[in-house]
Structures are given as structure tokens and as C-alpha cells.
Structure 1
């Protein structure tokens, strides 16, 4: 039985984590032996498959610092991944045929020592996720950026999550003569199919009129996710609706929230304060790190998804909303332009509150539009982004690496 070890920095509940969990589930279903190695895994902040024993997880190096005095996050992430890679090669006894790693590529040359085939999944170049800063920060990032490009190019196979990211990859890693393959993320629809959603008034502990229209935003509490845009769009809506109509409109912002992440804590406070300043307190509910059940219930019972990140690398939440039969209102850039069909499965908007509010108004005024777009999105998701399509492509890639390894052995 071929063994695949997944090496991931922090096994939480973000889109990158959902991708590697789904990849592991796809391989496990085809009788691959899968195992996770990570530097952090909290039972209170993870996907259920990594908590209930479905996917075995080994945590190594969690004692290593995540930052030094609030700085050097990237350097610390590199050190933690190096430590985990050394563990796999010299101490784990796992002896994988393939190591599937993502996010941080510094581990790749170390994994070569073990003679494993290495599959690297690039969600987005790490150097582009770093915020620009001072000259000193540029000097600090320069060797890390060089290492990222060099070590990424040493993987036997490189995958990216969208055509958008493939273009960014080529523009960023100019020294690499590599054409990465696109493996679109998916969602494991079994969770939707086998879950009876909770009533939304139970989740939010409040009552809604029967003719309410509930908009949903699901993203981590990070400034780059542009969640403020959803609040500004609500403020624009308020200007266009009567008091009676406005009382039926509600926005739920459900975000990944980790008390260890300073930005999560700060940005949550910023958003609540902004909602209060706009007079939206009665019409907006904030949730921190909803459980899987709460998230599925919200997606099942909301009327429309609001997706605000600009230049999102891919975006798994729009797929989840489409599977749940909900129209998606998203920024007209990045990955959503490959999943959302403007005017058919939702609306692609410029990053202006007025544009988002206009799309939201169309969903408020016409329930038939919502239902028609929701059905079209559901069909599109099943046809082009299904778990089966993802699984078949991934297994083909993994099998080709195994064939090469067998020939070399």
C-alpha cells in the first residue's frame, strides 16, 4: 500500500487546510496509507477528520516559537518546517513514498535526503503574502524570497490552485523554468449530504421574520479579506430601503478566529466598531470560528454569499455556497472569476460598496433570481469542481510520481 505523508505548517481550519484534508481523504478512499505531520494541531481549531482519527496526525516542533518579539514570523515558520522535515526523514519511521507539502517550501531539499518523491502545492507565493515594509524588512525578506523560489523549484511536481495563481507563479518565480499544473480545490460534499442543518435562529440565538433575506460572509478575520466592504455595502443598502424592508435584511460575518493571531483579535474589534459606527448593529451578527455544523447550517439557510477578498488565490467558500444552492456575490478578480459565472451563478463586482449593494439588492427584490442562480451554481459545482473530479486528477498525478519512483528503484 503506497504511503503519502502530508507535511503542513499549521493544521487549522483555513482554505489551505481544507485542501490538504480533502487530498488526504481522496487518497485514503483509494486505499493509500496517509498520515499528517504538522507543527501545530489544536482539537478546538481543526477540521473534524483530523480530530476524530479519520486522518492520523503527528505534531512535532510546536514548542518552537511562531515569532520573535512579534516579528520574524516567516523565519520562524521556515525553522518549524525544517524541524518537521528532519523528523520525517530521520526519526519518524513513516518511510513515505511521496511527501505532499504546501505553503512553505524550505522543507523540500531536506526531504530529498530521504529519497521521497515530493509534491508541492503552491496556494500562492509566500513572498507576495508578506506586507511591504521598511528597508530592513526588505533586506530580511530577500534571502527568504530567494530560498522560496529555489526550494520550490526542487519539488518533483508543482501544483497550483487556479489559473490565476499559475500566472502569478510564473511572474514571481522568473528563474524557474516550470509550468505548474492546476488542481482546483474542491469540497467534500458528504458533509453537506449527511448533515441535517440547525435552524438559523438557533445558531444565532435570535428570531428572524419569515421573509427575511440573510447574507453570509465566511472568511478569516484578516484585513486582506476586505470584510469591511461587506459592512459598507450594507450601509449603502440601508440608504435604499424603507425601514420595514431594512428590518428584514441581515448579514452574518462568520470568521476563522485564533487568539494566538494578533491580527484576528484586532480586526474583529475593528469590524465590530465599524458596524456600530455605520448604525448596523441590529442587522449584523459576528461569529468567531463557527463549528462545521454551524458553517454548514449557515450555508444551507442563508440566501446569498458575500465574498469580498480581492485577488483571492482560489476561494473554497464560493464552491461550498454553490453546492448549497446559493448565489455568490464576489470580487471580480482572482479565483472567483474561474468559479462564479457573472449573471448566471451570481455576480462579479468591482470593489465598491455601491456595486456590491446593487447586486445584493437584486437578490433581495427577486426570490426567483436567487433560486435560479443557486440552481445554476449547484449544477456548475457538481460538473466542474466535484470531489470526484478533484480525486481523479490528484490520483493520476500521484500515480505518475509513483511510477517514476518504481522505475528509479
Structure 2
């Protein structure tokens, strides 16, 4: 019999992305196993989060965001995020509650400070952050260098390090050559209950999505690294007069849905870029505004973006009859469930994605997946059985999409069933929760203590942060 543990999760921004889905599912899985769970975060928007974090299922506490902004003049994001994380860590250290373990997610900077809670630190690394940052100029390289060192040394302060795939494990070993610890692999899982819920067909937000066309679905944050443009180019190729399987692909629509936050400049810029790119490709587009979007947020959407209510009231039976590409930023969970139940295929375009929750979601919902033949999808998708792994070119993606659109229904259903069975067997939340509990219990058997490098790291970082801020402010 395992004694109940007290576990706190520390996550930067509790939105609706894959990393957030993992944190929520991990917290729910431990809670179901009888452990007490709290989530600390720097941002939690009740209109832009998973249901479990707003309906009382999980105890969510927000902190670290009252003094330092998200950025300074649209710049210095990593500096501000790191400082905010240290403020959140200070709040946790000063909290009167005691925890057996802290599940720290994505950002390692606060780990040395969090060790003063006397809790064991479990760090879940989705992907080394420094590999995701741009270094196109000497200034960017100099700016990032201290943060890269900070990331490596603070990651090494964790009592247990876990990654989400074998691909990330190998990348971690190359990225952090000075760390002797080899991270364990704990692949994310799905909370099947969340996907087994029936779609609320009376939801008025669904009427804007109803169509007699075959739906090609892309689900990704509106970030350039997700390469949603590849889906646009491949889809346009499918629709060309001389494209493959013209008869099957002529009556279809691409729905590009994903996380979109008006506070994130890249989100707003990239959505507009995609809309312009689609029109240049000769595709007819429509953008549906997020539910309850503010006037300021609406102004950041592509021109002629429509609210759901405006679409609902136009009286058309097929709302997408004159649309080739529908952009759906910040979709609801019910919209996601509807789209996954209606899609003919899901297109997953990132290259070298560390894992990718979307392919798992699609396969569980019996939808074949077309994904780049790299990174985590190679560990989840079985080529030719649950979908197709392709080189990231529009020709290869268009060919795979066309095959699925033209595929015999019996063969298509068999591919969908194979994906469902694979996810149910290998990626269940119960299995994930048991492995996570086992790893935490094993970690608790080992000693932990306050970091001996905290003072040096904190002093160097604060000096660098203040100096950089002053220099860049002066330079501007």
C-alpha cells in the first residue's frame, strides 16, 4: 500500500497546448491514485485552458506574475520568463504547505531555489529550450549564452530527470554533455475519458464547422516551428487540376485549428501570414474568432475574421461550401471533439517534434495521421498501419493526404481502428500514472538537499539580467 503523497506541479503557462495537456493528465492521474496535488503557474486564463483546471478538478494557484512583464518592448522573453519563474519559486518556498515532490515542467531555472522546500525535484523535460531558440546574429548568441548555461546546470540539480520520448532522450544527451545523468523516458498518455465524452451537438459553435466536405485537419499552435504552411501547400497541391486522385480531393476542406494567444506576438503574426499564404495559393479562407475574444484580440486576427454567431445566423446548410481553408484559433474542447470525429485525416507538420500529443489524439479517435518522418511521431505512428510518415515536402504530404481521401472506407476504418487499439494499449493514463508514481517513489528513496551552486547561479544571473536589460534599454 503506497502512502498518499503531496505533489506540487510547477508549470509556466497553463494554456491549451500539448505540454499543458500532459501536466493536467499527470496531475489527474496522481490524484486518482490517492495523492494530493496542487498546480502552481504564472498564467491561467479561465477562457483559454483545459476544463480540469477551471472546474475544480485540480487546485490551481497563480503567482510570480505581478512584477515582471512577459517581455520588455516585445523582447527579452526568456529573461522575463526566467525572472517570473524565480518569483513563482520564491512563493512556493514561502508557502506554509510542505510537499514530498515537486513536478517541475519545461523550465529548469527555478529548480535550485525550489530545493529549499526540502522536497524532491522531478523535472520533466519536453525538449532542451536552448535548441528551440534562434541565434541568427552575434547579439542573439551572446544574449542566449548565459541562459543556455543556466538551463544545463539547473537541469542537473533535479533529483530525477524524465523526457517524453527516446528521440528527446538522445537529443538531451547531445545537448547537455556535461550532465552525467541519463534521463528516463516517460511517454505522455491520454485521458481516454476526455475523448470518450459525446460531442455536444447542440453547441452553437459547431454549426460554423458543419459541412458535407471531407475534412483534412491540422491541430497545432500558431507558431512558425510547427510549419502549418506545409499543410497549406500540400492541400493546395491536392486540389490542383492535375493533382493525384482529383475526384476524391475536389470536395474537401482543410481546417487549421490550434492554440492562439493574443499576448503572443508570433501567434498573431503567423496566423496572418498563413492566411496570406493560403490566398496566394488560390485557396478561399475564413477565420473564426475565438469565443469571448476581446475587441483588442479581434483586431489582431486576419481581416474579415467572423464571429461564430455571425456564421451561425447566415442560414447556410453547408457553412464551408465556399471555403477551402478554415482557420480556427483557440478552439474549444467540444469543437476539437467534433473535428476529430468528422475528420478524414489529421496532418501533423512539425519536423523533429519531440513527441506530439496530436497524433495520439487522432489515432485514439480512429483518424489516420500524416506526419513528418522524424522525431517523436516515428515512435507513435506505425507507417502504413495507423497513418503515414513522410518527408516534410508538399509532394509527399499531398500524396499521403490524397491516398487517405480516396481510400476505400473499409480500409480507412481498419487503419483508424488500428490506431485506436495502439493508443489504448500503449498510451493509457492508468499506465502513465503507475509509471509516474513508481518513478516518484523511487526518487523519494534517495537523499536530496539544498543546492550548493544556488548562490553563485543566482548572483551571476541577476547581474547578467540587470546588465542586459539596461544595455538593451539604452540601445533602443
| 8 Å contact from structure 1 (residues 201, 207) kept in 2 | no
Secondary structure in structure 2 of the residue aligned to 1:100: strand
User: Are 1:400 and 2:428 an aligned pair?
Assistant: no
Residue 85 of structure 1: which of 86, 89, 93 is its match? Answer: 89
| 8 Å contact from structure 1 (residues 120, 157) kept in 2 | yes
User: Are 1:72 and 2:73 an aligned pair?
Assistant: no
Q: How many angstroms apart in 2 are the aligned matches of 1:368 and 1:199? A: 30
User: Are 1:132 and 2:135 an aligned pair?
Assistant: yes
How far the C-alpha of 1:218 sits from its partner, in A, is 0.4
Residue 336 of structure 1: which of 377, 382, 388 is its match? Answer: 377
Secondary structure in structure 2 of the residue aligned to 1:106: coil
Q: How many angstroms apart in 1 are the aligned matches of 2:432 and 2:122? A: 16
Secondary structure in structure 2 of the residue aligned to 1:347: strand
How far the C-alpha of 1:319 sits from its partner, in A, is 0.3
Residue 389 of structure 1 corresponds to 431
How far the C-alpha of 1:140 sits from its partner, in A, is 1.3
User: Are 1:327 and 2:368 an aligned pair?
Assistant: yes
Residue 371 of structure 1: which of 407, 413, 418 is its match? Answer: 413
Q: TM-score, structure 1 length as denominator?
A: 0.95
Superposition CA RMSD, Å: 1.8
Q: TM-score, structure 2 length as denominator?
A: 0.82
Q: How many angstroms apart in 2 are the aligned matches of 1:153 and 1:246? A: 51
Residue 361 of structure 1: which of 402, 411, 419 is its match? Answer: 402
Residue 291 of structure 1 corresponds to 332
Q: How many angstroms apart in 1 are the aligned matches of 2:202 and 2:349? A: 26
How far the C-alpha of 1:114 sits from its partner, in A, is 1.8
Greater alpha carbon shift after TM alignment, 379-388 vs 259-268:
379-388
Residue 9 of structure 2 corresponds to 6
Residue 185 of structure 1 corresponds to 188
Q: How many angstroms apart in 1 are the aligned matches of 2:328 and 2:223? A: 14
Unaligned runs of at least 5 residues, structure 2: 285-322, 449-476
How far the C-alpha of 1:316 sits from its partner, in A, is 0.2
User: In structure 2, do the counterparts of structure 1 residues 39 and 359 end up closer, same or farther at CA, with 3 Å as the change threshold?
Assistant: same
| 8 Å contact from structure 1 (residues 200, 301) kept in 2 | no
Aligned length: 403
| 8 Å contact from structure 1 (residues 199, 297) kept in 2 | no
User: In structure 2, do the counterparts of structure 1 residues 222 and 39 end up closer, same or farther at CA, with 3 Å as the change threshold?
Assistant: same
Secondary structure in structure 2 of the residue aligned to 1:66: coil
Q: How many angstroms apart in 1 are the aligned matches of 2:384 and 2:202? A: 29
Unaligned runs of at least 5 residues, structure 1: none
How far the C-alpha of 1:250 sits from its partner, in A, is 1.0
Residue 234 of structure 2 corresponds to 233
Q: How many angstroms apart in 2 are the aligned matches of 1:53 and 1:160? A: 29
Residue 256 of structure 1 corresponds to 259
Q: How many angstroms apart in 2 are the aligned matches of 1:402 and 1:165? A: 24
| 8 Å contact from structure 2 (residues 187, 432) kept in 1 | yes
Alignment deviations for residues 168-201 of structure 1 (CA, whole Å, 9 cap, x no partner): 1000000001110000011111011123353899
Residue 225 of structure 2 corresponds to 224
Alignment deviations for residues 108-160 of structure 1 (CA, whole Å, 9 cap, x no partner): 11111121100000000011111122212211111111110001001000000
User: Are 1:110 and 2:113 an aligned pair?
Assistant: yes
Residue 21 of structure 2 corresponds to 18
Higher relative contact order (CA 8 A, sep 6+): 2
Residue 389 of structure 2: which of 332, 336, 348 is its match? Answer: 348
Secondary structure in structure 1 of the residue aligned to 2:231: helix
